Amino acid sequence: MRSTNYLSPFALALLLALPGTTLAGAASTPASNVDAGGRIEKINRHAIKSAALVRQLLAKNGITQKQQ
């Protein structure tokens, strides 16, 4: 399993992974406020805790996880 301890790349991954306006990726002007008032970092921290919970819940339901 890959490490999820490095916050900033994942915080950015969260922003970059999900497109905004369209899936086709309409051109947007890059924002200067990358961390959106710190909210991205907050979401990221909750995501790390939640990911651990989700893994536990999957294991509880008999899902054996394997690294891809």
Partner 1 sequence: MSIRMRNLGLSLCLTFAGALAYAQSAEVPTDVAQLVEKFNEDEIPFNDNLLVLGKPEAPASVVFLLGLSGQSSFLVSRGLEDLIEKYVDTGKIRLIVIDMPLTWHDMQAFAGFRCVPPEKHWDVLKRALRYPRDAMNMKNGSIESAPGYIWSMMKGYDVSREQAEKCMRNTRIAGFIEGQRRVAYETWGTGVAPSFIVGNQVLVEPSNMNFVISAVETMLKGAQ
Closest separation between CB of residue 51 and partner 1, Å?
A: 4
> Rounded CA gap, 4 and 40, in Å?
15
Closest separation between CB of residue 16 and partner 1, Å?
A: 7
CB 14 within 8 A of CB 47: yes
14 CB-side CA count, 13 A: 19
Chain residues in the site for partner 1 (CB under 8 A):
1-2, 4, 10, 12, 14-23, 28-31, 33-34, 36-37, 39-40, 42-55, 57-58, 61-63, 65-68
DSSP, res 61: T
Closest separation between CB of residue 63 and partner 1, Å?
A: 6
